[in-house]
Structure 1
Amino acid sequence: MKKNILDIVYNFFIDSNDFNGIPLRKISKNLNIDYISSIETIKELVNEDKVSIQSSTNPNIIGFQHYPQNIQIQILEDAKLIEISYSKFGDFTIESENTEFPICLYPSKEYLVKNRDLKDFERAEYSKRLALAEPHLEPVFFEMDVLDRYITDPRYDFKFEDYSGSIIHTHDEQDTPHLREEDQIFLNTFGLAFGTNNDRIIAVYLRYLKDLTPDHQTYWKTKEIGGACKVLKEYHDNIVLGNWNTSYSIFNGFIGELNCLYDLSQFIFSKPLLLKKFNEEKRLREFTYFLSPTSKNYSDFVLLLDKMMSENLNKDFFKNKVELFDLEELGNGIVERKPKGTIRLFEEWISSQFKSSNDNDLKNLFKIFKDIRKERQSPAHKIIENKYDKNYTQKRIDLVKKGYNSMRILRHIFQQHPHAKTFNTPKWLENSDIKNF
């Protein structure tokens, strides 16, 4: 009987497409034996390290760990008290156990290593680990540049939020994949983590790596990092615990403040200060932590940030508010009208409308606009070799912090306008924790 139970547990696991375990009560049903007697035999298999059990709200996968044998034995002993209840719905009868923590059985790691044929997993390193009963929610860590081949390839749909993202291959209008089968991947989720030197890296739970093709599992393996790495708490809480997070990244905060300033200025003056808003859901590629620290990525980010700030100022907004041109004398009584830049127009107008107790407040505000414009112009007129330097990550974050602070200050200035009293500011901008992950 012991061998029959072991064979059922083993075959159920290796035949499963998702590396699932068999429910405890199925053993006695499949073999038509007494439920209590089956538990006694299973306890023997656990003690022999041939079978391992999972007991949780979702025991159908090995979630976090294999429990020590003494704990497994106690769980099986307690399972003798679990009873079945039946609920009837019309012609259907549903059977359920009176427990919040059902039990599933798996072949042990030791038994699988000795007996499982792994030829189907030769190049699928992460699928192989699951095939040997490693926990599905074990995080695996990678260098940030593992994402580069997907970010730069338009045949992949690369999506990301504040601290997580996903990758999927795309199709044409006839629903034909753009890529060969070996490159048709789907990575449901990856997240932000930190390496031993506190550098930002990538974390993927083992369960999701199995959805990569063997070719791509081999590629990801070359970027894997060992050591004492840590998953960002917000990502772990969201993906593993299923908790909602009320914190937002500084990137999201900047876009939120910019969009709010657009709406607020439109509300007050019937004309927006800015030319356009930006989609908070479909984030701009440069507005993420998931970029390698290269000079090209940094330059692209600075260019975008300047376009969102200085180039996004609506020149028409200042019409009839300030003089739009300078008159430059050319001699012989000839003058030339030269248009003022948008930063200068904005600075002249707001200085005439808003008075601060500290004269440096507005100067510092517009210094941010000018510094970002200057930073953009530095690489714009040169051919610069692309370089890798971890300092570029912090430089990007420092710039977006400045941009966020400037937008937030401007929103508070505009909110002091008499016509802004009934404007509804998005609550998350005021009440949420906007932070640098």
Structure 2
Amino acid sequence: MKKNVVLQEIIDFYLQSKDFNGLPIYQMNNYDKEELLNLIDNDLIEAISEKEVLNPHIRGFNLDIPKDIQKNNASDLESHTCFYPTEKALEGVKIDYKSPYTILMQKGREQFDIIFFDIEILERYINNPKFLIMDNGYRGSICIRDEYYDDEDDSEYIKDYGMAYIEGEKLTRAVAIFLIDLAKLSPKIQMLWKAFELKNQNRCKVNSGFIKNLIYGEWVIDYWIFHAIIDEMIIINKQCESMEIPPLFSHTYGTHFFEMPEGYRNIFLPTMKNYYDFVLVLEKMFVHNISVKTFQKDGFLIKGIERKDSKGYDKGSLVMLSEWLNRNIKTSINIDEIIINPLKSIRKIRQVPAHELTSNKYDIDVYKKQNDLVIETYRAIRGIRLLFSNHPKANKIEIPEWLVTGENIVCY
């Protein structure tokens, strides 16, 4: 049997398979032990078995398996071994120059190689209602909504993107994608992504949760601060129910991507317009969403307050919240400083574009501004929950340990 027949079968299977898979040993038409050993010795194929990885059908990484182990794999017909052509073996294959990321797979790159892109590429999707962005802070997905899907169109599906960062003095976000996900895009869309590929890839680093979750299959123990705030709101309303007063928040939300308010996420492109749009979302969630009915009803150890001020005008929700908390809660902490002022800050920032003509501009400091604002908002909402926990009718509400300790709550 000629050596090139065995090698060609492995190459053909790799290139023609849907996900650039390895040829299983039990599926080979031209199995020849001696030829396989020679191919391994000459660095033309790689033999990966279930002894090295959970799924030998994909070559996710450069495993650098010693040749003697590869030879044992190739000799054991009972093992679950798959054969892959090396970059050396693929040097002469015909490649598709219209698909830059498919090319890399055709040349033998590993599936889980990560490519970094300018975060601006995500604006194409977040601002287009045809697309659904499933964002969880450290990772997310992109797909076309069902009503816009067309099999004949250049459909776009990014199974997983990771939040990444560019080295430097200031927080600068990027986006990370596995090579295999890019290779599955149409040629047209691959070229679009190629235009946003960052030149200095070695200055980029993807969030550790992305690697832990998708590469090692580990649970991510960090909690996104955006989710923490939502969970605090839910608990606060449960506390209100226990205290037999109306809920503090007219609406609460879930932490699944389709339950969260639109725009309640990390800012991708750092522009002032995106920043002000985000502040508007916070105002609707945490200022306009406060129910003044909470403050008007008497309860056990709770005294309600009047809706009108001394001049007969309705008090604002934050004014009533401050008056009500200070009347009903005896504490050494400065309630206005910890709870009221951060919420007032949201309203104050929101008033800038509402009452002035502003110019949009690119500002990398927007990332830090957003993080600082979210952290202050979290502390304010958490502060309310902590104060309510002291009420004898509310202290039985079950609270997750991670919210009690406040540990591992992060901004991505």
TM-score (norm 1): 0.85
Deviations 1:248-289 (A, max 9, x none): 111111122122212221221241011110121123342322
Instruction: Give the residue type in structure 2 aligned to 1:22.
Output: L
Mapped partners of 2:245, 2:313: distance in 1: 27
Q: Kindly report the root-mean-square deviation, in angstroms, between the aligned alpha carbons of the 2 structures.
A: 2.0
Runs of 4+ residues over 6 Å off in structure 1: none
Change (3 A) 1:352 1:103: same
CA 290–123 in structure 1, closer or farther in 2 if over 3 Å, else same? farther
Task: Give the superposition deviation at 1:240.
Answer: 0.7
> What is the rounded CA distance, in whole Å, between the counterparts of 1:272 and 1:80 in structure 2?
66
Asked which structure has the greater CA Rg, the reply is 1
Deviations 1:317-364 (A, max 9, x none): 222411111233xxxxxxxx2111110111111101111224x34344
| Structure 2 residue aligned with 1:294 | 271
Pick from 153, 167, 174 the counterpart of residue 196 of structure 1. 167
Partner of 1:60: 57
Within 5 Å, give how 1:285-434 maps onto structure 2: 285-289=262-266, 291-320=268-297, 321-328=304-311, 337-358=312-333, 360-430=334-404, 433-434=408-409
Equivalence map 1:210-289=2 (5 Å): 210-225=183-198, 226-228=200-202, 229-282=204-257, 283-289=260-266
Residue in structure 2 matched with residue 112 of structure 1 by the alignment: 90
**Matched letter for residue 60 of structure 1:** H
Which 10-residue stretch deviates more, 363-372 or 398-407?
Answer: 363-372
Contact 1:144/1:290 (CA < 8 Å) preserved in 2?
Answer: no
- 1:42 maps to 2:44: no
Q: How far off its partner does 1:222 sit?
A: 1.0
Evaluate the alpha carbon distance shift between residue 399 and residue 80 of structure 1 in structure 2; reply closer, same or farther with a 3 A threshold. Answer: closer
**Alignment-derived partner of residue 23 in structure 1:** 24
Q: Deviations over 1:62-109 (max 9, x none)?
A: 2111637xx1x211333367463xxxxxxxxxxxx3xxxx43112221
Structure 1 gaps, min length 5 = 85-96, 329-336
Partner of 1:13: 14
The size of the alignment, in residue pairs, is 395
Contact 1:191 1:203 in 2 (8 A): yes
Please give the alpha-carbon distance, in whole angstroms, between the structure 1 residues aligned to 2:76 and 2:41.
22
- The change in CA–CA distance for 1:364 and 1:296 in structure 2 (over 3 A counts) is same
Contact 1:274 1:312 in 2 (8 A): yes
Distance (Å, rounded) in 2 between the aligned partners of 1:203 and 1:51:
29
**2 CA distance for matches of 1:266 and 1:383?**
43
Give the alignment partner of residue 155 of structure 2, picking from 167, 184, 196. 184
Amino acid at match of 1:201: A
Question: 1:332 corresponds to which residue?
Answer: none
Q: Distance in 1 between matches of 2:280 and 2:63?
A: 50
Distance 1:66 1:421 in 2: 53
SS in structure 1 of the partner of residue 220 of structure 2: coil
Contact residue 130 and residue 145 of structure 2 kept, 8 A: yes
Q: Matches of 1:105 and 1:39 in 2, distance apart?
A: 12
2:159 pairs with 1:159: no
Q: Residue 3 of structure 1 aligns with which residue? A: 4
Q: Which runs of 5+ in 2 are unaligned?
A: 298-303
Q: In 2, distance between residues paired with 1:10 and 1:370?
A: 64
Secondary structure class of the residue paired with 1:113: coil
CA distance in 1, matches of 2:272, 2:122: 17
Deviation at 1:46, TM superposition (A): 2.5
In structure 2, how many angstroms separate the alpha carbons of the residues matched to 1:288 and 1:66?
36
For 1:185-217, what per-residue CA distance to the aligned partner results, in whole angstroms no more than 9, with x for missing partners? Answer: 111110111212252211111111123221111
State the distance in 2 between where 1:127 and 1:290 align: 30
CA distance in 1, matches of 2:351, 2:267: 25
Greater shift after overlay, 425-434 or 305-314? 425-434
Q: Deviations over 1:211-242 (max 9, x none)?
A: 32211111111111133221211110001111
**Per residue, is there more strand in 1 or in 2?**
1
The equivalent of 1:333 in structure 2 is none
Partners of 1:414 and 1:218 lie apart in 2 by 54
Contact 1:50 1:107 survives alignment (8 Å):
yes
Taking a change above 3 Å as real, the CA distance of residues 399 and 179 of structure 1, as seen in their structure-2 partners, is farther
1:179 Cα deviation (Å)? 6.1
Residues 282-331 of structure 1 show CA distances to partners (whole Å, capped at 9, x for unaligned) of: 23342322521111110011111111111111011222411111233xxx
Contact 2:338 2:380 in 1 (8 A): no
Secondary structure of the residue aligned to 2:277 is helix
Q: Is the 8 A contact 1:182 1:213 kept in 2?
A: no
1:76 corresponds to 2:70: yes
| Structure 2 match to 1:103 | 81
